Amino acid sequence: MDSNKQAESSSYPPTSSITPPPAIPPAPFHHLLQQQQQQLQMFWSYQRQEIEQVNDFKNHQLPLARIKKIMKADEDVRMISAEAPVLFAKACELFILELTIRSWLHAEENKRRTLQKNDIAAAITRTDIFDFLVDIVPRDEIKDEAGLGGMVGATASGVPYFYPPMGQPTGGPAGPGGLMIGRPAVDPTGGMYAQQPSQAWQSVWQTAGPDDGSYASRGSGGQGNLDGQG
């Protein structure tokens, strides 16, 4: 920049008297400038690299050391290859994304714009492969929100049973929640949730089969280790 000023001041005919010539002789000054420019170039290319690296690390945002600690909390897990925590970080992220989408669906169905714990609980209940989380986010947190489309309930034993859909106008959230004909006297611990939008969920429940069987058979290795944890 300075060299530009220098060039300009020498080209201004009468006003050159206003900008006095630099006291430093031009040759070493020029050399310094070159150095400075080189340094700036290096600085900026380094910054660019840094930024690119940060973008790459978007894939491993979860800290690998922390993940490793979590894994090692299980005493059965001894040695872990260097690649494993990387995989777990990504898997964790994908898992959270899945859970988010499904929880969001529940919030949307109930016309809310705040994700609540019961949304997550509902997502867990609805999704077979999330069965391992059934005890983590308790189902009794699920509130009865929407009206009375088809209704699905589960007893404490986990076997789902369902009521035929009522001749009830759909739409309209939070009806008089207590008005449910045919509901058992003992409110099953939170297994109930009303579904408005589609009958699709009913068919899911119909084919699901008894919860107990599938729950027990899946991840049997993992299940044992979860006792006393979480």
Partner 1 sequence: MEKVVSEAEELPKAIVRRVVKEKLSECSPDYDFNVHKDALLAFSESARIFIHYLSATANNICKESKRQTMNAEDVFKALEEIEFSEFVKPLGASLAEFKKKNAGKKVDQSRKMRRKRRENRGFICRKRNQNQAKETG
What residues line the site for partner 1 (CB under 8 A)? 56, 59-63, 66-67, 69-71, 73-74, 76-81, 83-84, 86-88, 90-97, 99-101, 103-104, 107-108, 113-117, 119-121, 124, 128-129, 132-133, 136-138, 218-219, 221-222, 224-226, 229-230
Q: By the 8 A CB rule, do 44 and 69 touch? A: no
Closest CB to partner 1 among 123 and 180? 123
Task: Please list the alpha-helical segments (H only) found in 134-181.
Answer: none
Closest CB to partner 1 among 30 and 72? 72
Smallest gap from Cβ 229 to partner 1, in A, equals 6
Closest CB to partner 1 among 90 and 183? 90
Smallest gap from Cβ 117 to partner 1, in A, equals 4
Q: By the 8 A CB rule, do 141 and 180 touch? A: no
Q: What sign has the CA pseudo-torsion 187, 180, 175, 151? A: positive
Smallest gap from Cβ 91 to partner 1, in A, equals 6
For residue 162, the one-letter residue type is F
Closest CB to partner 1 among 30 and 69? 69
Closest CB to partner 1 among 130 and 150? 130
Smallest gap from Cβ 99 to partner 1, in A, equals 6
- CA end-to-end distance (rounded Å), the chain: 62
For residue 49, what are its two tokens?
């690299």
Smallest gap from Cβ 93 to partner 1, in A, equals 6
For residue 107, what are its two tokens?
């919030």
Q: What is the torsion angle, in degrees rounded to the nearest 10, for the CA atoms of residue 176, residue 178, residue 181 and residue 183?
A: 150
Q: Pairing relation of β-strands 160-163 and 150-154?
A: antiparallel
